[in-house]
Structures are given as structure tokens and as C-alpha cells.
Amino acid sequence: MSGNLQFNKIMAAGLTAALVIVVARVGVDALYHTEPPAKPGYAVEVAEAPAGGGAAVVEVDPDWGTVLPTADVAAGEKVFGKCVSCHNVEPANANMTGPGLWGVVGRATASHPGFAYSDGMKAHAAEAPTWTYDQLYHFLANPAKWVKGTKMGFAGIKKPEERIALIAYLHSKGSTLAIPAPDPSRQPGAAPAAGTAPTQPAPKEGAVATPPSGSTAGGPLPTGPASASAAAAPAK
């Protein structure tokens, strides 16, 4: 008998222990089941914070004295494939749907003989008399936004590196506009004192017969430190 009693005690102890474990597990599970939903919510917020900060990065116009000598002219020729349906860029400089572009870099805006420019482009020539590197860079990003009323029906080239290569290619096609000296204020991470840049005359002496307006070669626009699209607004 006593052996049976002993057995019962052991069984009872074992069952109790098992019960405790089960109850504890259920309790723990319950805890974990309620927590996870809260965590992803926080995770999303954390992920968004750095993205917002990154968007505040300010884009500066290219430092032409640095980027042009090393630009990929062959890549620029490929990009120009988007222009050939409307533009000729050979010395004959025939007008097509668009004006001949031989020597357009540094050329007076809306000046190619025999081409009927839009009123919008003529008005633009009054504000920006020369196709400087900066002017082409902004115009080619979004023609209709940079030159209101232009009849150039082209959406634009968004990627800065593609525009730089394209401008280097155009420069190789009959342009005598000098490549400016490197400008430290346009280097990535340059001090915000970049506003002093436009007062320095562009080193293009003897380059093109571009009269006083040539001083805009350094750009009347680089003071706008915003991205290509955002910079379009203040200059107009």
C-alpha cells in the first residue's frame, strides 16, 4: 500500500510540475503574441527618418573645369541619339526641325541663321544671351521648364552624368568656348560661401567673340544651389 501512496505522490508532483510549465508557456506565448505588432510600427518610423534627412542634400551645378576634361564624350554621342531626329551637329549646320547645333556651346542664344525661333526662346535670349555650360545643363534637363514657351518638343535628360557627357560631346563639335579652371566652390562638400563664385570672371579670354554677356559664362545661375529642377525657379 505504502508503495502505492509513494507512487501517487510522485505522480502528483510530476503532474503539478507539468502543469506549471504549461501555464508558464502559455503566459510567455501570450506576452510574445501581443508584442510583435507593436515592433514593426516603430521599425517603419526609424527607417523613414534617415530617408527624410537624405533628401535634404543640396545639388550644386557641375564644376565644369573638373568634369569636362574627364567626361565620356562617346557616351555623350550616344545620348545625342535622342536629338538627331531634330538636330544636325555637323559643320554644314543645316536647320532641321531644330536649329543646327554645330558650335552651339558658347553660341549666342537663338542666333542660328535661317531658323525661326519661338517667342519663348527669343525672350530667353534676352535673359540668357549665351549657351553657357550651365545654361545647357539646365535647359537640357527640362527644356519646357527652363525656357517657357519653347517649341523644342523634348522631355529632357534627367541624369546629370548623361547631360555632362552630352555637353562634352556638343563641346567637341565646333565649340571654341574655353573650359573654365576648376572652381573649388563647386566641389562636392564645398563651403556654402559658393555665392562668391559668380563674381570671379570666367577664364575664357579670347575664347569666343562673346561680348560683355560672356561674363555669364561662369553662370548667373550657380547661386541657386538647388537641384536642376528646383534651380529653374529662382532664375526665371
Give the residues lining the site for ligand HEC (CB under 6 A): 82-83, 85-87, 97-99, 101, 104, 109-110, 112, 117-118, 120-121, 131, 136, 140, 150-154, 157, 166
Least separation, in Å, of the C-beta of 190 and ligand HEC? 28
* Identity of the residue, 173 or 194, whose beta carbon is nearer to ligand HEC in the bound complex: 173
Q: Other CB atoms closer than 10 Å to residue 112's CB: what's the count?
A: 18
CB-CB neighbours of 79 under 10 Å: 21
Separation between Cα atoms, residue 104 and residue 78, nearest integer Å? 18
Length of the chain: 236
Q: Whole-number minimum distance, CB 162 to ligand HEC, in Å?
A: 9
Residue 135 beta carbon to ligand HEC: minimum distance, rounded to whole angstroms: 9
CA–CA gap between residue 218 and residue 133 (Å, rounded): 8
C-alpha to C-alpha distance for 53 and 56, rounded to whole angstroms = 6
Of the pair 9, 159, the CB lying nearest ligand HEC is at 159
C-beta of 91 vs 182, nearer to ligand HEC: 91
Quote the CA–CA distance of 167 and 76 in Å, as a whole number. 7
3-state DSSP assignment of residue 193: helix
Compare residues 139 and 197 and give the one whose CB is closer to ligand HEC.
139
As measured in angstroms, the least distance from the Cβ of 171 to ligand HEC is 12
